[in-house]
Amino acid sequence: MGKLAEHLILAPFTDELPAPLYFRAARMPASAAYPTHRHPWGEFVYSFSGVMELKLDGAHFIAPPQYGVWLPPQIEHNAMNHQEACHCSLYIAPALCERLPLKACALTVTPLIRELLEELHASPPGPVQTAEESRLLTVLLDRLNRTSCVGSYLPGSADPILGPILVALEQNPADGRSLADWARKVNATERTLLRRCQRDLGMSLAQWKQRLKVTSSLDKLKAGTSVEAVAFDLGYSSSSAFISMFRKLTGETPDEYRRKRLS
């Protein structure tokens, strides 16, 4: 997951949950990480700001604001953020996980789910919950049970040929090298790279790079950087090309994204 973390943060619970449904929010400094761990309950992770990265069993999950990450019980995982981030976790007792996916995946965050998360974030329930807090948590679980699973928004790869390419792109999303350029760089054929992209990513390298650019732009947009400056930082020759790509992948323009997250 890139450079070593400067701040190591321990998982809050190890033996049992304070309640069958427990909501927790945390603000993470830049370059912070949770070490590899597992727990007997499920966990839904969502970032209000910044981008949390999770790795488990060779899979790499990075989700922008329209997705959260679902971790079933007993899945060994670790997490890290490169920039400052504010995230939350909904911890779910094993008996309440039956309708959620059996495998880790990204879940679509609908407008209602986002509003529920924001409401809980504004006034987090404690271990002893009021009847109103319990109802709110139950509705959130019900909505998560019904939302769509989309796999991993930005999957990774442990492949010795493809993996280093993805790491290099994460470090420099503006890198404009083509598939043919990368094939020459790693002494492979384009056909080999194409096959491994489809096998490990489920998409082309070009599609993966577009998703990477979306996730790389989010913190800059929220920080107030102009759309034009973000576009140029990501290697676009014009802001219109970046705006078109951003709208295609997120359903809103960069300015609309920024207004919603700052309102």
For each of the chain's 263 residues, which pLDDT tens digit applies? 444 456 667 767 767 899 999 999 988 887 788 888 889 999 999 988 877 778 776 666 776 677 899 999 999 988 877 667 788 999 999 999 999 999 888 899 999 999 999 999 999 998 889 999 999 999 999 999 999 988 777 888 889 999 999 999 989 999 999 999 999 999 999 999 999 999 988 899 999 999 899 888 987 888 899 999 999 999 999 999 999 999 888 778 999 888 876 65
pLDDT of residue 4: 47
Judgement on whether residues 140 and 181 belong to the same structural domain of the protein: no
Tell me, yes or no, whether 14 and 93 share the same domain: yes
Do residues 228 and 139 share a domain?
no
| Residues 82 and 122 placed together within one structural domain of the fold | yes
SS (H, E, C) the chain: CCCCCCEECCCCCCCCCCCCEEEEEEEECCCEEEEEECCCCEEEEEEEECCCEEEECCEEEECCCCEEEEECCCCCEEEEECCCEEEEEEEECHHHCCCCCCCCEEEECCHHHHHHHHHHHHCCCCCCCCHHHHHHHHHHHHHHHHCCECCCCCCCCCCCCHHHHHHHHHHCCCCCCCHHHHHHHCCCCHHHHHHHHHHHCCCCHHHHHHHHHHHHHHHHHHCCCCHHHHHHHCCCCCHHHHHHHHHHHHCCCHHHHHHHHHC
- Print the domain residue range for 47: 7-146
The CATH number of residue 177's host domain is 1.10.10.60
Q: What is the structure's pLDDT at 207?
A: 93
Strand partners, 91: 22, 43
Q: Is residue 154 part of a domain?
A: no
* pLDDT for res 261: 64
Q: Same domain, yes or no, for 166 and 256?
A: yes
Q: In terms of domains, do 112 and 54 share one?
A: yes
Q: Quick one: pLDDT at residue 1?
A: 40
Residue 156 lies in a domain: no
Return the pLDDT at 63: 66
Structural domain count of the chain: 2
Same domain, 40 and 12: yes
In a domain, 42, yes or no: yes
**Which residue's entry shows tokens 């700052």?**
262
